[in-house]
C-alpha cells in the first residue's frame, strides 16, 4: 500500500484516551532513539510527551492511512508501507522492529482501541472532506436562517419538510451503493439533465431515505427516465397520473418494505421515502415542477410518492418479477404510470369466476368506462387471493380469465350514447365490435395487503403504448 503522506521510518498512530497507547509510550520512546520515528496523535497534541509527535486531531492522516485501531505501528520505506501491526503484542512488536528486548516488563498482550477516524461521530464528516469528494455545489445558509424553511423557499421541496443534505449525510447515503458517486445514471426529463449517483443520493437524503434504500431509488430513476416510460409526457399531461413503484425480490425484506397492512399508506419509512426520493429527483434535477411542466389539473397523493412491495411469500402465484422473466433471487423495481388506487369492494363472492367478474367490473370503470386500451394494476388482497388459491387457479389462468372479461362492447361506449359525449367516435368502423379495456400485455397483477379485509385495489393507467407510457422493470443493483 502506498502511503504518500507518511514519512519514511516507523510511524505510529495513538490517542491519549486509549490505555494501550498509554502503555506503549516507553516503547515508542525507545524506538525513537533507535530509528526515525513519527507519532501522529489523534486527540491531544501534547500526548505522548516525547519527540516526533505530529498533531493529527483533524484526523486527515489517520483517515488517509486507513487507521482502524490505535496504537498502529507502520514501517514506511521509500514512501511505501511495508507492514503494520495494531494493538500491543510483545512478540509481534519485537519481530516487527527486530529489537528482541523491546517492551520488557510490559504485559504480553493488550488490545488497542478504535481509531477516532472510524468513530461514527467523525467518519461521515471525514469521508465528506477527504474522500473522493462531492461535486455538487455547496449552498451556505445565513446563521439566522432556518434550513428547513430556506430549502422550502428555494423550491427544493414537494411541500413537505425535507432533510438538509449536508455533506456528511450525502456521504453516508452513498455508502448504500457500490456505484461511483460521479456515475451518470440517466437523463432526467423535462430538462434532460444528467443525474449522477451523487445527485440521486442528495435527493434521497432530502426525502428521508436510509442508505440501504439508495439502490432502489437509483433503479427507479433509471426506469422512469426511459423513452418507454415517457416521464416528460407523464409530467405534461393534465391527467393526474404519477409513477407507481412495485418492488420485488429479497431487498424487500432487507430494507423493511411493507407489502401487508396499509402497504399503500403511511407508516413505513422505505415505502414512504423511496417514491418521494424519485419525485424529488424529477423535480430538483429534471425541473418537473407543478404549475410549470407538471400541468396536472388536480394531481393526486401519488405525486408525492407511491411505492410498495409485493407480498411474494403469502401468494400462491409467481411474483410479478418472475412473471416478467426475473429469477426469484433478483430484486427489481417496476415503474407504472397510474392514477391513485381505487378500492375493489367485494365481501360476498366466494366463487373465483364470480370474483374475477367482480374485479373486471371495477377495472372496466377505471378512469372512465368509455376509455379503452389502458394499462392497469390489479392488486389482490390476501382474502381475495384465498378464493383463487383454494380453487387451484394460478396467475396465468387468472390473467386469462380477467382479460376475457375486459372486452368492452363498442356500441355502448360510442359518443352520444346515453347522452354522454365521451367515448369512441362514430364512423370509424368499430360499431358492433368489442375493444379491450386493457392494452394487450398491459395487465399487471400483484399480491399485496393485510391478512384481514376483502378489499383489493386497481390502479388505472394513462395513455398506454408507444404514444404514452409503458411499464418498465429494472433490476436493483447494489
One domain, residues 317 and 447: no
One domain, residues 179 and 203: yes
Number of domains in the chain: 3
Q: What is the pLDDT along the chain (478 residues), one digit of tens a residue?
A: 344 579 999 999 999 999 999 999 999 999 999 999 999 999 999 999 999 999 999 999 999 999 999 999 999 999 899 999 999 999 999 999 999 999 999 999 999 999 999 998 998 888 888 876 788 888 888 989 999 999 999 999 999 999 999 999 999 999 999 999 999 999 999 999 999 999 999 999 999 999 999 999 999 999 999 999 999 999 999 999 999 999 999 999 999 999 999 999 999 999 999 999 999 999 999 999 999 999 999 999 999 999 999 999 999 999 999 999 999 999 999 999 999 999 999 999 999 999 999 999 999 999 999 999 999 999 999 999 999 999 999 999 999 999 999 999 999 999 999 999 999 999 999 999 999 999 999 999 999 999 999 999 999 999 988 889 999 999 999 9
187's grid cell: 437523463
In this structure, is residue 3 part of a structural domain? no
One domain, residues 79 and 151: no
In this structure, is residue 397 part of a structural domain? yes
One domain, residues 394 and 257: no
One domain, residues 302 and 244: yes
One domain, residues 360 and 269: no
DSSP state of 117: G
In this structure, is residue 326 part of a structural domain? no
In this structure, is residue 159 part of a structural domain? yes
Taking the complete model, does pTM exceed 0.85, yes or no?
Answer: no
How far apart are the C-alpha atoms of 216 and 252, rounded to whole Å?
10
One domain, residues 302 and 166: yes
Q: Give the residue from 321, 356, 378 where a domain finishes.
A: 321
In this structure, is residue 399 part of a structural domain? yes
- The CATH number of whichever domain residue 102 belongs to comes to 3.40.30.10
Compute the residue count for the chain.
478
One domain, residues 143 and 203: yes
For residues 409 and 345, the answer to whether their CB atoms sit within 8 Å is: no
Q: Quote the crossing angle between the two packed helices 197-207 and 269-284, to the nearest 10°.
A: 130
One domain, residues 156 and 252: yes
One domain, residues 145 and 293: yes
In this structure, is residue 328 part of a structural domain? no
Q: Give the residue from 82, 113, 130 where a domain finishes.
A: 130
In this structure, is residue 327 part of a structural domain? no
Q: Give the residue from 321, 349, 379 where a domain finishes.
A: 321
**Measured CA distances, 265 to 8, 138, 249, 301, 303 (Å):** 61, 35, 21, 10, 13
One domain, residues 262 and 141: yes
User: Which residue in the block uniquely carries the three cell numbers 486527540?
Assistant: 43
If 0-12 CB within 10 Å is exposed, 13-18 middle and 19+ buried, where does residue 285 land?
Answer: buried
Phi, psi (deg, nearest 5) at residue 384: -70, -40
How far apart are the C-alpha atoms of 268 and 460, rounded to whole Å?
24
One domain, residues 311 and 396: no
In this structure, is residue 215 part of a structural domain? yes
Question: Residue 405: which domain range?
Answer: 340-461
Amino acid at each position: 500500500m502506498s502511503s504518500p503522506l507518511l514519512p519514511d521510518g516507523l510511524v505510529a498512530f495513538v490517542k491519549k484516551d486509549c490505555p494501550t497507547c498509554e502503555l506503549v509510550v516507553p516503547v515508542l520512546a525507545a524506538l525513537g532513539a533507535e530509528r526515525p520515528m513519527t507519532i501522529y496523535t489523534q486527540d491531544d497534541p501534547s500526548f505522548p510527551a516525547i519527540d516526533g509527535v505530529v498533531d493529527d486531531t483533524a484526523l486527515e492522516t489517520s483517515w488517509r492511512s486507513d487507521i482502524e485501531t490505535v496504537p498502529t505501528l507502520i514501517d514506511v520505506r521509500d514512501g511505501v508501507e511495508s507492514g503494520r501491526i495494531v494493538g500491543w503484542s510483545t512478540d509481534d512488536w519485537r519481530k516487527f522492529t527486530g529489537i528482541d528486548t523491546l517492551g520488557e516488563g510490559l504485559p504480553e498482550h493488550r488490545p488497542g482501541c478504535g481509531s477516532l477516524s472510524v468513530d461514527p461521530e467523525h467518519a461521515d464528516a471525514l469521508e465528506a472532506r477527504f474522500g473522493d469528494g462531492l461535486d455538487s455545489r455547496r449552498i451556505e445558509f445565513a446563521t439566522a436562517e432556518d434550513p428547513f424553511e430556506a430549502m422550502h423557499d428555494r423550491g427544493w421541496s414537494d411541500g413537505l419538510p425535507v432533510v438538509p443534505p449536508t455533506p456528511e449525510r450525502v456521504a453516508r447515503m452513498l455508502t448504500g451503493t457500490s456505484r461511483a458517486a460521479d456515475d451518470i445514471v440517466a437523463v432526467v426529463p423535462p430538462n434532460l439533465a444528467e443525474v449522477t449517483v451523487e445527485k440521486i443520493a442528495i435527493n434521497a437524503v432530502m426525502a428521508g431515505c436510509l442508505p440501504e434504500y439508495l439502490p432502489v431509488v437509483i433503479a427507479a430513476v433509471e426506469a422512469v427516465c426511459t423513452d418507454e416510460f415517457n416521464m416528460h409526457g407523464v409530467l405534461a399531461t393534465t391527467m393526474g397520473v404519477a409513477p407507481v413503484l412495485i418492488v420485488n425480490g429479497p431487498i424487500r425484506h432487507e430494507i423493511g418494505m411493507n407489502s401487508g397492512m396499509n402497504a399503500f399508506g403511511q407508516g413505513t419509512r422505505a415505502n414512504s421515502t423511496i417514491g418521494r426520493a424519485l419525485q424529488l429527483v424529477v423535480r430538483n434535477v429534471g425541473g418537473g415542477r407543478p404549475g410549470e411542466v407538471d400541468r396536472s389539473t388536480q394531481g393526486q397523493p401519488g405525486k408525492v410518492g407511491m411505492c410498495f412491495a409485493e407480498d411474494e411469500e403469502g401468494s400462491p402465484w409467481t411474483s410479478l418479477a418472475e412473471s416478467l422473466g426475473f429469477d426469484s433471487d433478483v430484486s427489481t423495481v417496476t415503474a407504472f404510470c397510474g392514477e391513485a388506487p381505487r378500492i375493489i369492494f367485494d365481501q360476498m363472492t366466494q366463487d373465483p369466476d364470480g370474483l374475477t367478474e367482480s374485479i373486471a367490473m371495477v377495472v372496466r370503470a377505471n378512469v372512465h368506462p368509455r376509455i379503452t386500451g389502458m394499462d392497469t394494476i390489479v392488486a389482490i388482497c390476501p382474502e381475495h387471493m384465498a378464493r383463487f388459491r383454494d380453487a387451484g387457479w394460478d396467475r396465468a389462468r387468472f390473467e386469462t380469465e380477467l382479460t376475457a372479461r375486459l372486452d368492452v362492447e363498442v356500441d355502448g361506449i360510442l359518443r352520444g350514447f346515453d347522452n354522454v359525449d365521451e367515448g369512441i367516435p362514430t364512423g370509424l368502423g368499430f360499431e358492433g365490435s368489442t375493444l379491450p379495456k386493457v392494452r394487450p400485455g398491459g395487465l399487471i397483477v400483484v399480491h399485496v395487503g393485510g391478512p384481514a379485509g376483502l378489499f383489493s385495489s386497481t390502479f388505472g393507467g394513462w395513455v398506454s403504448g408507444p404514444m404514452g407510457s409503458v411499464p418498465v422493470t429494472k433490476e436493483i443493483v447494489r
